[in-house]
């Protein structure tokens, strides 16, 4: 399997980053919903710290993914794909990238009043002053952000499954087996 993308398929690095980021996003939603429902205490604090570390890792990987995307070709759409579907696919992908960045940024701003550890390796110092109103605002953006992101991910997955099972084309395979 090639490192770089071709007109037929994504390269192994793009595939790896796609699936690792997807797994991280699932883990982030699960961890976020779990610690949000927990009582304050060391278990909640530990899970919240893991959530924040995973978010920072996702931010770095997504940035690398976008740089790699601009450095590579993109697999061609199947022959006969209507223009509206090409536009919808492009728009959905860019909205996904924007929604992930928005969500991660809102989360960073929620945590901006406290230091954030990156898997215990180093710490990002607080960069916002203590302000409860500001904290609540960014937290509400973060809550809405994951819901919007979940909707876009669902649309993305449904479109891939539609291509695979209904249209029986290679759209899904080019991001999996090639």
Q: How far apart are CA 96 and CA 14, in angstroms?
A: 16
Do residues 14 and 66 touch, judged by C-beta distance below 8 A? no
Q: How confident is the model at residue 4 (pLDDT cuts 50, 70, 90)?
A: very high
User: Residue 60: is its pLDDT beyond 80?
Assistant: yes
User: Residue 90: is its pLDDT beyond 80?
Assistant: yes
pLDDT of residue 177: 83
Q: How confident is the model at residue 130 (pLDDT cuts 50, 70, 90)?
A: confident
Please indicate, yes or no, if residue 5 is contained in any of the structural domains.
no
pLDDT of residue 1: 79
Measured CA to CA in angstroms, residue 92 lies from 81, 117, 141, 159 at distances of 16, 32, 20, 10
Please indicate, yes or no, if residue 163 is contained in any of the structural domains.
yes
Measured CA to CA in angstroms, residue 162 lies from 5, 47, 67, 152 at distances of 23, 36, 28, 15
pLDDT of residue 113: 87
Question: How are beta strands 116-118 and 122-124 bridged, if at all?
Answer: antiparallel
Could you tell me where the beta strands, DSSP code E, fall in the chain?
116-118, 122-124
β-pair partners for 122:
118
Query: Average pLDDT for residues 119-129, to the nearest whole number?
Result: 92
User: Residue 164: is its pLDDT beyond 80?
Assistant: yes
Please indicate, yes or no, if residue 1 is contained in any of the structural domains.
no
User: Residue 140: is its pLDDT beyond 80?
Assistant: yes
Instruction: Find the CATH number of the domain harbouring 20.
Output: 1.20.950.20
Helix orientation angle between 12-36 and 132-161, rounded to the nearest 10 degrees? 130
pLDDT of residue 172: 93
User: Residue 178: is its pLDDT beyond 80?
Assistant: no
Full domain range(s) for residue 80: 12-175
Please indicate, yes or no, if residue 165 is contained in any of the structural domains.
yes
Quote the number of domains for the chain.
1
Q: How confident is the model at residue 54 (pLDDT cuts 50, 70, 90)?
A: very high
């Amino acid at each position: 399997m090639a490192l770089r993308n071709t007109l037929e398929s994504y390269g192994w690095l793009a595939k790896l980053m796609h699936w690792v980021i997807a797994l991280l996003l699932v883990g982030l939603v699960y961890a976020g919903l779990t610690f949000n429902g927990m009582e304050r205490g060391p278990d909640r604090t530990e899970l919240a710290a893991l959530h924040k570390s995973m978010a920072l890792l996702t931010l770095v990987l997504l940035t690398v993914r976008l740089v790699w995307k601009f450095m590579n070709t993109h697999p061609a759409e199947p022959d006969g794909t209507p223009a509206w579907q090409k536009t919808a696919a492009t728009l959905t992908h860019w909205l996904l990238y924007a929604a992930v960045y928005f969500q991660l940024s809102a989360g960073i701003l929620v945590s901006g009043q406290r230091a954030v550890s990156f898997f215990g390796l180093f710490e990002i110092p607080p960069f916002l002053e203590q302000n409860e109103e500001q904290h609540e605002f960014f937290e509400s953006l973060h809550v809405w952000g994951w819901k919007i992101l979940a909707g876009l991910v669902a649309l993305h997955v449904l479109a891939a499954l539609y291509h695979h099972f209904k249209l029986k084309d290679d759209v899904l395979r080019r991001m999996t087996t090639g």
